[in-house]
C-alpha cells in the first residue's frame, strides 16, 4: 500500500460468507451488517459487542461471547474512503445496512 495510490473495495475486502468481512490490508474482521444494532449509548454498545456470537446478528462464524470487541478509532478509520460519502466507503464494498450516522469506537479521551 502506497500513499496516494487508489485501492478498490474488491481488493480491500473479502466477504467470508459467514456474516463477516475481512479487511485484507489490516487483517481485521468486521461484521458484514454493521446496521444490525440499533442506535444506543456507548456503554450499551460495548455490552452488546461483548455478547456478540455465532448465531446472532447474521453470524455463522463459530464465534463465542468475548471473541468480538469494539474497534478503536484508528481501526475504524481504516475503512474510510475519503473520496466517498454517505457512506464513506468505496463502491463495491461488501457491507450491508451501513449507517451514515455516527459509529462508536472503544477510544475514549
| pLDDT number for residue 5 | 55
| pLDDT number for residue 11 | 77
The string of pLDDT tens digits covering residues 42-87 is: 999 999 999 999 999 999 999 999 999 999 999 999 999 888 888 9
Smallest Cα–Cα separation from 76: which of 30, 24, 17, 11? Answer: 30
The string of pLDDT tens digits covering residues 1-54 is: 455 556 666 678 999 999 999 999 899 999 999 988 888 999 999 999 999 999
Amino acid at each position: 500500500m502506497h500513499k496516494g495510490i487508489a485501492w478498490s473495495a474488491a481488493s480491500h475486502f473479502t466477504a467470508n460468507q459467514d456474516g463477516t468481512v475481512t479487511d485484507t490490508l489490516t487483517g481485521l474482521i468486521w461484521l458484514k451488517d454493521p446496521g444490525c444494532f440499533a442506535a444506543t449509548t456507548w456503554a450499551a454498545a460495548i455490552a452488546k459487542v461483548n455478547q456478540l456470537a455465532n448465531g446472532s446478528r447474521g453470524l455463522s462464524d463459530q464465534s463465542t461471547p468475548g471473541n468480538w470487541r469494539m474497534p478503536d478509532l484508528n481501526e475504524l478509520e481504516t475503512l474510510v474512503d475519503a473520496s466517498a460519502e454517505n457512506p464513506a466507503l468505496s463502491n463495491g464494498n461488501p457491507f450491508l445496512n451501513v449507517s451514515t450516522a455516527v459509529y462508536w469506537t472503544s477510544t475514549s479521551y
